[in-house]
Amino acid sequence: MPHHIQPRTPPGTLELLPREQIIFQHMIDVIRRGYERFGFVPIETPVFEFRDVLLTKSGGETEKQVYFAQSTGAIQQGHDPELALRFDLTVPLARYVAEHEHQLAFPFRRYQIQRVYRGERAQKGRFREFYQCDIDVIGKDKLDAAYDAELPAIIVRIFEELRIGDFTIHFSNRKVLLGLLAGHGIEDADKQKLILREIDKFEKIGADKVRASLVELGLGEDVAGDFLRFIAHKGGKEEMIADLRGQKSDHSLFRQGLAELAQIVDALKALGVPDHRTRLNLKIARGLDYYTGTVYETLIDDHPEFGSVCSGGRYDDLASLYTKSKLPGVGLSIGLTRLYDQLNAAKLLPQIPGSVQVLIAQLDPQLGAAYLALATDLRHAGFNVENYLEPAKLEKQLKYADKSGIPFVVLLGPDEKAKGTVLVKDFAAKAQHEVTHAALIEKLRALFGR
């Protein structure tokens, strides 16, 4: 007996059956169309980058999870790996913009939908290979805050088209909190970071523990109380802006952040974004020091346990490690693999028909040429058509169509051929229609609701 290797998929990857893959592909298509509708252009970067280009940050958690790529020849010669697989799309974007700066038009509006790789510990919901769908606007020397409002408008349009249930984009501006802290005499950057991280934990640990932490970090009881009032604010966006304007702080950073927030609120209204889809929420501090202004998180209203399904923010300088040019930007990222996995588990995936719309059954091998010609006619009319190309019992062909998710089967036997008709079997309606050959295209269009 020959020894067979056990077929198995590496943990931390998402491999789908065709019907599932069609849904995943639909989600990618909706995201891509949404990005393009707002004037963004696509780029792709190599799956691996030079090691010294990729590993530039200060040894954060992500850099401990890098996969290195090496040829067998290099391994045999004992060389250190020269290449590493990308762990996000931001570092490759920084390298790309720095390298092609003089060929790009700024502001550079790019989207990128590709897989990234992280050596996560294999467990449910953690992926080692996953799709990110990133969108960024990069400016040269400066980038107006108007772009910060456009990104949520794009995501609202995409998520509404995906029909994944009610969702809310929460946004804030780090300058507001940092300016308030500075106005109260807390200007040490490390202490500010610690305070923002505590604020970020508000939903997990609650108001009392956050208050105690803030007091421990040097805020007076009154100041900590003021902070918590803003952080726990339940009012609308305009009300929050008015409350913040009532603050006595004259710190320039606070005033700048507040002006940017007010500009976003006004622009969201002008863009026609439904009011309930966005919320000004100062709890969104985002622990990453990378972000310098606006920050975003997106929650599915009925499933807060999903965490943020689309996050991002404003950064001052994208590519300072690769170029002297100052390249500020703002971006958002949808982690599509994780989102698909969560929606699937919660039975919230959109119902998408299969990509094959019509199967032409083979009832008589003598009519093979007629079946092929019929398929060609239907394809010219815009239908996705499959021919069943080998003789088989009709029952087997119908089972094949049903299992493959093909909604209509066209039957043409000697009797139909003689009458100049065909039969259309409709699985969903459990019905069969006899139409003339000439009327078939119109009948199918009617059945598809075109």
pLDDT of residue 287: 57
Structure tokens that stand for 240 in this block:
């929050």
Percentage of residues in the chain having pLDDT higher than 70: 97
pLDDT band at 210 (very low <50, low <70, confident <90, very high): confident
Cα separation, 79 vs 69, in Å, equals 12
- 102-107 contacts, C-beta under 8 A, 24 or more apart: 106/138, 106/139, 106/140, 107/137, 107/138, 107/139, 107/140, 107/143, 107/147
pLDDT of residue 214: 82
Cα separation, 344 vs 437, in Å, equals 41
pLDDT of residue 227: 79
Q: Is it the case that residue 345 has pLDDT exceeding 60?
A: yes
pLDDT of residue 103: 97
Is there a contact between 289 and 193 (Cβ–Cβ < 8 Å)?
yes
- Mean pLDDT (whole number) for 152-170: 95
Cα separation, 43 vs 21, in Å, equals 23
Q: What is the DSSP string of 396-442?
A: HHHHHHHHHT--EEEE--HHHHHHTEEEEEETTTTEEEEEEGGGHHH
pTM for this predicted structure = 0.90
Q: Residue 248 in 3-state DSSP?
A: coil
Residues 6 or more apart in contact with residue 150 via CB below 8 angstroms: 38, 137, 267, 271
pLDDT band at 246 (very low <50, low <70, confident <90, very high): confident
Block residue for tokens 């040429």: 369
Per-residue model confidence as pLDDT tens digits over 286-327 = 556 678 899 999 999 999 999 999 999 999 998 888 999 999
pLDDT of residue 63: 66
Kindly list the strands in the beta sheet with 385-387, ordered across the sheet, starting from the edge strand earlier in the chain: 385-387, 358-360, 408-411, 421-426, 431-436
Strands (E), 209-309: 278-280, 294-300
Per-residue model confidence as pLDDT tens digits over 350-384 = 888 889 999 999 999 999 999 999 999 999 999 99
pLDDT of residue 177: 86
pLDDT band at 1 (very low <50, low <70, confident <90, very high): low
Cα separation, 303 vs 342, in Å, equals 9
Task: Calculate the average pLDDT of the chain.
Answer: 90
Q: Is it the case that residue 416 has pLDDT exceeding 90?
A: yes
pLDDT band at 450 (very low <50, low <70, confident <90, very high): low
Residues facing residue 335 across a β-bridge: 132
pLDDT band at 14 (very low <50, low <70, confident <90, very high): very high
Between 76 and 426, residue with greater pLDDT: 426
pLDDT of residue 286: 58
pLDDT of residue 189: 81
pLDDT of residue 417: 93
Per-residue model confidence as pLDDT tens digits over 38-86 = 999 999 999 999 998 988 754 555 667 899 998 888 888 888 889 999 9
Q: Is it the case that residue 253 has pLDDT exceeding 80?
A: yes
pLDDT of residue 272: 95
Alpha helices in 295-404 (DSSP H): 336-345, 368-380, 394-404
Which of 140-149, 155-164, 209-218 has the weakest average pLDDT? 209-218
Q: Find which of 185-189, 247-251, 293-297 is predicted with most confidence, using mean pLDDT.
A: 293-297
Per-residue model confidence as pLDDT tens digits over 80-134 = 889 999 999 999 999 999 999 999 999 999 999 999 999 877 777 789 999 999 9
Rounded to 5°, angle at Cα 131 from 126 and 137: 125
